Amino acid sequence: MISPILSKGQNIPLPNDLHQIDVVLGWTESEVEIDASALLLNAEGKVRSDADFVFYNQPESEDGSVRFLGTGSTEEGAQARLTIDLSAVPEDVHSVALSGSVHSGTFGELGKLTLRVVDGAGHSLAEYATADATTESAFVFGEVYRRNGEWKVRAIGQGWDSGLGGLAQDYGVEIDNETEHAEPVDPVEEPAPVGVAPAETTATDSAPEADNPPVVKRVRTGVRTAKRAARTTTPIEFKLAEQDTWQPARLFSVAGIGAGEEQERRATSALVATMQAVPAFARAVCSRVGAPAGGFEGYLEVPYERGESRVIPDAVLKVSRGSRLWTGLLEVKTGNGKLKREQLENYLDVARRKKYDAVISLSNDIPASAGELPVEVDRRKLAKVALRHLSWAEVAHEARMLLSHGHIEENLQNWILREFLRYLDHPRSGASEFVDMGRHWVPVREAVTAGTLRPSDPKAQIVAGTWVALARHLALRLTAELGVTVKHVLPRRFNNDPDARNAHIAEKLAAEGTFEAVLRIPDTVGDLVVTADVRTNRVRCRTTLDAPDEGTSGRRLTWLLKQLENAPGNLQVEAVFSERGNEACEHLDTVRANPKALTEGRSGEIVSFSLEQTFPMGNRRSGTAAGFITSVTASSDSFYGSVVQPLRGWVRAAPQQPEQVAPIAAESVDE
C-alpha cells in the first residue's frame, strides 16, 4: 500500500475507525539526532498548560493521549517516534503540533526530512518530505487536527532558529533553563511530570551565622528543555580464578533446554527478567512496540478466557507512568517456530475486550522493512489494538547498543544485560539473529544456476523478501557495532510497496543472478554496496569515492594509495577519468608496484575511484560457517574494516595568506 504524499500546506483525512496512530520523523545524511516532540493546542493555537508539551524530558501528556517513544534505527535510517491515542485526546484540544529539534547543529545538515503517519499495524497513512531546512534547530513538520469530528493530517514545514525552547515558548509553554546543568538521575525514578522543575524553598529553623549567610535558592517554574547526561560504567571483571578454564556462574543457563516449548519458555523468562532488572533496556524494547517510558513489569503465561476456551500468551507486559497504564500481550517463537494467524487474532480479541493496547509477536522472522508483519491478520481486529512485531535480532541489537555506547548506569545492570546477550548468542537459546534463507532458497538458487528462474515465480518473490531482511540484518549489526545509524537504502518507490520491491529484486535475480544491498554509513566516503552473485558463487563488496579535484592523476592516485596501506592486495581499484568512457582497473598489488599501470596512456584527470573486493560465497542457506548468510555477513564486515573505514574524503588545503613584507619603520620627526 502506497501512502499519500503531502505537499506543504496540504491535508488529508484519517480513517474514521482509527483510534491510535504513530508519528515517525526520519532524516538522512547525518548522525545528528532529532528529538520528536508534540504540543497539544487549544482553539487559539496555544497549550492549555506546560503539561501539554510532550518531549524527551516530559514524555507523556497529562491525560496519556500523546507519548514520546524515543529514537531508534531501521533499514530506512534514523527515526524519532510519537504515538497519539486519538480516542483519548481531550475535547478542548483542537490540534497536536508535530515537531522535532536537534541538540546541536541545524536541520539543514540533516538532508531530507520526512514525517510519516502510520496505523497500529505499521501501514503508512500519510507522508511529507522536505529538504528546505537551513539554519533551523527546531522544526514543525505537521499537525494532526480535529475538524467537525474528523481527524486530519496537515503538512506544515516551519522552522525555528531558537531551538526547542523557542518553539515551545511561541506555543505558550513557560521555559526555565536558567542555571541548568546536565546531571545523572536514577533510571528507576519516575518524577511526574519529568520536564517541570520542582519548586525549591529556603526555609530554615535556625538563624544564619553572620559569616555564613544562607544560600538562597531560586524558585524554579516552567519546563526544562536541557538534556541530562548519561553515566557510563565498566563491566564486572572476574579476577580470582586460578586457571583460565574456570567459568563464572551464568545468570541464564542453556543447560537442560529440551524441546521447542521449553526453549520458548526459557527465552521469554530471560527477556522479561532482564527488562525488569535493566530499566534502560526495558524502555528500548518497549519503545519499539509503542509503549511509553515508565515502570515496567512482566508476567509469564497468564490465562485468559475467550468464549468457552482459554488462550495463554507467553507473557503480559505492563508499563505504568502516572495514571497511564499500557498493556501488551506477547507471543514468542524461537528456532524455526512460526507465528500463526489464528493465535494472533485470538490475542487481538482478548486485548480488545480487556482494553489492552497491543499484541506483540517475537520470533526469528526479520521483516523486510519496518512495520511489516510476518503474518497478515484481519485488519478489522486492529481498529483498537495495535499489532507489533519484534525480531530477536532487534532485541539483541538494543542490548548491544546500550552496552557499547554507554547508556547503562550501574555495573550490576551492565553485567545482567551482558549475561542476557550471551544467552541469546548461544545456539541452544533458539533466539537467532538471522540464520536461514528459508525453505525456498535451495530450489531458487538451483533455478538461477540452471537459467530457468522466472521473475513471476512465487518462490523467487519470497526469497527476494528474505534477501531484504538479510540486508536489514546487516544494517542492524553495523549500527550496534559502530554506534551510528546504518541505513539500508532502497529506491523511494519501494519504501511502502513491498510487493513491487520483491518483484523488482526477483526480476534482477532472474536476469542477472544477483542480489544487491546498499548500506549507507554516516561519515564514510561512500556507500557500502554488497552484491551476492548466485551464478558465480561470489560476494562482491564495493564503494565509490570522489578523487581530489586538484593535482595530476598521479598525485590523486598517491593520495588514495596512502589510505589503502593496510588494504588487501586483491582489492580491485578502478579509476574513472574526466574523459567520458575512459576507465582503468587493476588489482591493488599491481598498482602499488607500478602506479602508472592505472594512469599511463589515459587522457584527462581521475575524477573518482571505485574499490571492489570479491569473496567466496557459501552455498548452504543456513548461518553455518559454510552458509550463504555467514559469507555475506563476513564479507561486508571484512570489507568495511579493511577498506571503507580507513578512507577519508579529500579536503582542500586552507587558502594561504600572501607572504607579508615587514613594514618599514617610520623615521621620527622632531616637532
**Number of Cβ atoms within 10 Å of the Cβ of 323:** 10
Which H or E run contains 362? strand 358-363
Q: Choose from 214-228, 270-284, 429-443, 656-670 the range with maximum mean pLDDT.
A: 270-284
pLDDT-derived band at 222 (thresholds 50, 70, 90) equals: low
Same domain as 347, residue 461: no
Same domain as 592, residue 447: yes
Residue scoring higher pLDDT (144 or 654): 144
Q: Which tens digit of pLDDT belongs to each residue from 412-430?
A: 898 999 999 989 888 788 8
Whichever domain contains 284, its CATH number is 3.40.1350
Chain-centre distance for alpha carbon 619:
31
- Beta sheet of 583-587, edge-to-edge order: 487-489, 514-520, 528-533, 538-546, 606-616, 572-577, 583-587
Residue 551, sorted as left (phi over 0), alpha (psi -120 to 50) or beta, turns out to be left
CA distances from 137 to 33, 101, 153, 167, 311 (A): 11, 6, 23, 9, 49
- Dihedrals φ, ψ of 505, to 5°? -65, -40
Residue scoring higher pLDDT (347 or 487): 347
* pLDDT (mean) for 195-211: 42
pLDDT greater than 70 at residue 200: no
Residues spanned by the domain of 22 = 5-170
Q: Which three cell numbers stand for residue 653?
A: 588545503
Which H or E run contains 506? helix 498-512
Same domain as 618, residue 472: yes
pLDDT greater than 70 at residue 628: yes
pLDDT-derived band at 204 (thresholds 50, 70, 90) equals: very low
Taking alpha carbons only, the member of 395, 429, 75, 123 closest to residue 252 is 429
User: How confident is the model at residue 663, as a pLDDT?
Assistant: 56
Coil/strand/helix, residue 161: coil
pLDDT-derived band at 299 (thresholds 50, 70, 90) equals: very high
Pair type for strands 386-391 and 514-520: unpaired
Cβ 88 vs Cβ 384: under 8 Å = no
Angle, helices 260-277 vs 279-288, to 10°: value is 120
Examine residue 452 and state whether it is found in any structural domain, yes or no.
yes
pLDDT greater than 80 at residue 512: yes
pLDDT greater than 80 at residue 458: yes
Same domain as 157, residue 12: yes
Q: What residues does 147 pair with on adjacent strands? A: 150
pLDDT-derived band at 635 (thresholds 50, 70, 90) equals: very high
Q: Which tens digit of pLDDT belongs to each residue from 147-180?
A: 988 999 999 988 888 888 888 888 988 876 554 3
Q: 557: exposed, middle or buried (C-beta count within 10 Å: 0-12, 13-18, 19+)?
A: buried
Which of 114, 135, 170 lies at the terminal end of a domain, its last residue? 170
Q: Which three cell numbers stand for residue 175?
A: 521555559
pLDDT greater than 60 at residue 626: no
Examine residue 9 and state whether it is found in any structural domain, yes or no.
yes
Examine residue 485 and state whether it is found in any structural domain, yes or no.
yes
Same domain as 458, residue 400: no
**Number of Cβ atoms within 10 Å of the Cβ of 541:** 25
pLDDT greater than 80 at residue 387: yes
* pLDDT (mean) for 550-569: 91
* pLDDT (mean) for 475-489: 80
User: How confident is the model at residue 209, as a pLDDT?
Assistant: 42
Q: Which tens digit of pLDDT belongs to each residue from 639-663?
A: 999 999 999 988 877 777 777 655 5
Examine residue 203 and state whether it is found in any structural domain, yes or no.
no
User: How confident is the model at residue 251, as a pLDDT?
Assistant: 85
Quote the pTM value. Answer: 0.59
Least reliable range by pLDDT among 212-216, 568-572, 615-619: 212-216
Same domain as 633, residue 512: yes
* pLDDT (mean) for 16-34: 73
pLDDT greater than 80 at residue 73: no
Examine residue 653 and state whether it is found in any structural domain, yes or no.
no
Pair type for strands 34-41 and 20-27: unpaired
Examine residue 223 and state whether it is found in any structural domain, yes or no.
no
Same domain as 388, residue 269: yes
Which of 152, 170, 188 lies at the terminal end of a domain, its last residue? 170
From CA 285, how far away is CA 272, in angstroms rounded? 10
User: How confident is the model at residue 569, as a pLDDT?
Assistant: 92
From CA 541, how far away is CA 474, in angstroms rounded? 13
Examine residue 36 and state whether it is found in any structural domain, yes or no.
yes
Residue 169: what residue type? Q
Least reliable range by pLDDT among 188-192, 357-361, 392-396: 188-192
Q: Tell whether the torsion through CA atoms of 58, 88, 129 and 375 is positive or negative.
A: positive
pLDDT greater than 50 at residue 668: no
Least reliable range by pLDDT among 79-83, 184-188, 207-211, 273-277: 184-188
User: How confident is the model at residue 370, as a pLDDT?
Assistant: 60
Examine residue 188 and state whether it is found in any structural domain, yes or no.
no
Which of 170, 196, 215 lies at the terminal end of a domain, its last residue? 170
Average model confidence (pLDDT) for the chain? 81
Same domain as 419, residue 283: yes
What does 159-179 look like in DSSP terms, one character per residue? EETTHHHHHHHHTTPPB--TT
pLDDT-derived band at 121 (thresholds 50, 70, 90) equals: low
Cβ 366 vs Cβ 391: under 8 Å = yes
Least reliable range by pLDDT among 28-32, 388-392, 399-403, 576-580: 28-32
Q: Which three cell numbers stand for residue 185?
A: 538521575
Cβ 238 vs Cβ 377: under 8 Å = no
User: How confident is the model at residue 518, as a pLDDT?
Assistant: 93
pLDDT-derived band at 234 (thresholds 50, 70, 90) equals: low
State the greatest distance between any 2 C-alpha atoms of the chain, in Å, as a whole number.
117
Same domain as 388, residue 450: no
Whichever domain contains 84, its CATH number is 2.60.60.30
User: How confident is the model at residue 361, as a pLDDT?
Assistant: 93
Residue scoring higher pLDDT (251 or 313): 313
Q: Which tens digit of pLDDT belongs to each residue from 311-357?
A: 999 999 999 877 778 999 999 998 878 888 899 999 999 999 999 99
Q: Residue 162 half-sphere exposure, CB side, CA atoms within 13 Å? A: 7
From CA 219, how far away is CA 198, in angstroms rounded? 8
pLDDT-derived band at 196 (thresholds 50, 70, 90) equals: very low
User: How confident is the model at residue 162, as a pLDDT?
Assistant: 84
Tell me the percentage of the chain whose pLDDT exceeds 90. 32
Cβ 306 vs Cβ 350: under 8 Å = yes
Same domain as 405, residue 265: yes
Cβ 484 vs Cβ 521: under 8 Å = yes
Domain count, the chain: 3
**Number of Cβ atoms within 10 Å of the Cβ of 42:** 15
Residue scoring higher pLDDT (619 or 549): 549
Q: Which tens digit of pLDDT belongs to each residue from 184-194?
A: 333 333 334 44
Same domain as 368, residue 389: yes
User: How confident is the model at residue 369, as a pLDDT?
Assistant: 62
From CA 190, how far away is CA 212, in angstroms rounded? 35
Taking alpha carbons only, the member of 594, 556, 592, 550 closest to residue 571 is 592
Cβ 102 vs Cβ 88: under 8 Å = no
Same domain as 413, residue 454: no
Q: Tell whether the torsion through CA atoms of 290, 296, 300 and 302 is positive or negative.
A: negative
